[in-house]
Structure 1
């Protein structure tokens, strides 16, 4: 594992023996050293508190500074540095809220799509909840404006780390990767956040800069994040770890051809607090149906030819033709003309489950 850890969130502190889980995060200690007083449970800062601070006191700047200090200390050694920014993330607020004018903010083309009965109840609950909390397109545009401001905030810190590599003279022997754990609906389907299988939620940036790279190129085929670690190990001339079920994609990074593969996705039930938020005051179904839908798990697959199948254990299933319907407005699962596609992709999902030891019945 990593030899050093730096925490910015109270619920994501590392479990190493020399890091006290019951204590406050390193970022909280930083704010305390600057004279700020906690606003939550006496010793913690809420997630909303840092979002109101200037950039110099923000989480990205804190991580940027520590990352650059780490690089200075280890410039002559082979190292792995993992910088995990929290932004862009709710509460969608930060020091660059007005960096982008509201006039240049557009909403997703599927913003006005209203889910029908063939869409999973869980998704309809999400859309209903968003409609209660946000009134009209203007509210979504203002949130998206702040979201872009958070991306700008990250851009500043990523740029500073890249500049540090240049200044230390180690860029030509450093592999740099920019990626994320999930996307954000950000007005698509009238939703915000993640927790759904639509493309805006499951798609992530995946940028790789190789040492002495002379030209840029784009990989057009879908890639799974499960291949990330095997690929990084391969780039560092390390053998694959037995825990990794993915495979190296170094050939694609080097511009070589490779036959496209299926991409598998999954989602687990929501935590209790989130279930209470979505199920409260809903008129879409009775309590039993709502409780069941909020406890659903999803197993999904995206095929190289653009079909996406989502199977669930406690809610409705979905099938989309991403080529013909990129906005995912038309659920074709209950259309009898696509039985062969459903059968084939269902088989693929179950083979994947068997391979990785997933016993969920969908």
Structure 2
């Protein structure tokens, strides 16, 4: 019997902020319970630190430079042979979506579609929900310094969960289903009602690794983003602990809604594979920054990723994996072929407890940049600036110009830019990435090895599409660096 596939996605949730992952505050006890019962991928990475490129990578199993969606405004140009919806539709799945889309698929592609929800609005069923959405809009993506003056039931995660439960109850029990629930939180605006507002007092928020002084150390786009945010909201970082406290409260609010969702799913008698993940992270005050924007730091790139289901192991895995691995994992879970052009690797054998070939899972890459030369601080391009001041919705993306690639391999992190200096960090000794070792003579051998690994990844990610008469040689699970001699698959 083919399993139901459940995808629970949050927006801008940084890894490492739950009790199970070592954080001092118990933010997501139910999700931590899922991690304890399933496979907890502790080194999972997004493909890009922006919503639409990352979500397109999830759907297509391809990196942004290949699916060609490298910014939040061009989802309609996604390039692929088959994506997740095609695969599941061909396998006779019913398709249900509730929440924030930010993707190349729309209402007509699903059997039921509740949305679109975005960060300050969603389909409203009554005057109180309308009033809450208007209040969110007036908050201007900022930080609320008081509890939200509307009840929990008006919050977008609650409304999205309600919509998802209606779809679950109405779904055909004879057919497997995709149930994709996509929450806009904990993305800004940063607000929560009681009792979540009181989960932790600002003065009790754990210290951050680095403050505003770090942007001067890192320089470049980090320093520029800090100055842009200061220009938009003078002295905003003085309130960073309130911002962080709201963010942590939002995580607990989400956790309660995810628990509610799972209680509703229990009524389905089919086996189930559940994937919990985020599209990318949030600074949460690190470097004196909010939201996202500059760079490829671990705070933005690492995401939670938990896979649970019948026949899957309860375990923690430390291999570096990616959001692009979700599509091939689902393909293998439902017995469907992995489409041509997919660059991700199935994680199903890992979730079943199998060993991972070190060559295949010893490193991972990610991307940033929507093209062109990286903007300089003296430049004020249209869209990002209005009336000589930064527009808040866009001040983060102006620092995502140009093109960059990162590689994570063990304790090492390499970042290469098209037109800026290189970066090399020892994450064991420098988790905030403040000591750049790229030009350090002592680390020349490490740099050379990582550059070679990055070059191999770049060769691997050359697009195989469009198909021609030649037949690419594929290995099982799309593990292209698996040991020679394994059974081959032809497509």
TM exceeds 0.5?
A: yes
**CA contact 1:230–1:244 (8 Å) conserved in 2:** yes
SS of the equivalent of 1:164 reads: helix
- Give me the whole-angstrom Cα distance separating, in 2, the residues matched to 1:268 and 1:356: 17
TM-score if structure 2 supplies the norm length? 0.60
The answer on 1:299 being equivalent to 2:399 is no
Relative contact order: is structure 1 or structure 2 higher (C-alpha 8 Å, sep ≥ 6)? 2
Partner of 1:287: none
SS in 1 for 2:318: coil
TM-fit CA distance, 1:159: 0.3
Counterpart contact for 1:52–1:93, Cα < 8 Å: no
Cα contact 1:61–1:157 (8 A) shared by 2? yes
> What is the CA-CA distance between 1:343 and the residue it aligns to?
2.8
Match of 1:104 among 204, 207, 213: 204
Work out the CA distance in 1 between the residues paired with 2:214 and 2:128. 48
Match of 1:335 among 418, 440, 447: 440
Taking a change above 3 Å as real, the CA distance of residues 318 and 265 of structure 1, as seen in their structure-2 partners, is same
Q: Where do 1:1-362 residues align within 5 Å?
A: 1=85, 8=99, 14-17=105-108, 25=116, 30-31=123-124, 33-34=126-127, 46=137, 48=139, 53-74=150-171, 75-95=173-193, 96-111=196-211, 113-116=213-216, 119-130=218-229, 133=233, 135=235, 139-166=239-266, 168=267, 170=269, 173-195=271-293, 196-211=295-310, 216-258=314-356, 259=358, 260-269=361-370, 275-276=384-385, 295-303=401-409, 305-357=410-462
Instruction: Determine if contact 1:292/1:314 at 8 Å carries over to the other structure.
Output: no
The 8 Å contact of residues 113 and 329 in structure 1, kept in 2 or not, is answered as: no
Greater CA deviation, 341-350 or 78-87? 341-350
**Unaligned ranges ≥5, structure 1:** 282-290
- The alpha-carbon deviation at position 138 of structure 1 amounts to 5.1
Gaps of 5+ in 2: 1-84, 142-147, 376-380, 391-396, 464-491
TM-score (norm 1): 0.79
Is 1:185–1:194's contact at 8 Å kept on the other side of the alignment? yes
C-alpha contact 2:203 2:241 (8 A) present in aligned 1: no
Larger strand proportion, structure 1 or 2?
2
**How big is each residue's C-alpha offset from its partner over 1:180-235, in whole Å with a ceiling of 9 and x where there is no partner?**
1111111222222223311111010011111266x731112221222121112212
Write the distance in 2 (CA, Å) between the matches of 1:11 and 1:78.
25
Query: How much has 1:249 moved relative to structure 2?
Result: 1.5
**How many residues get paired?**
337
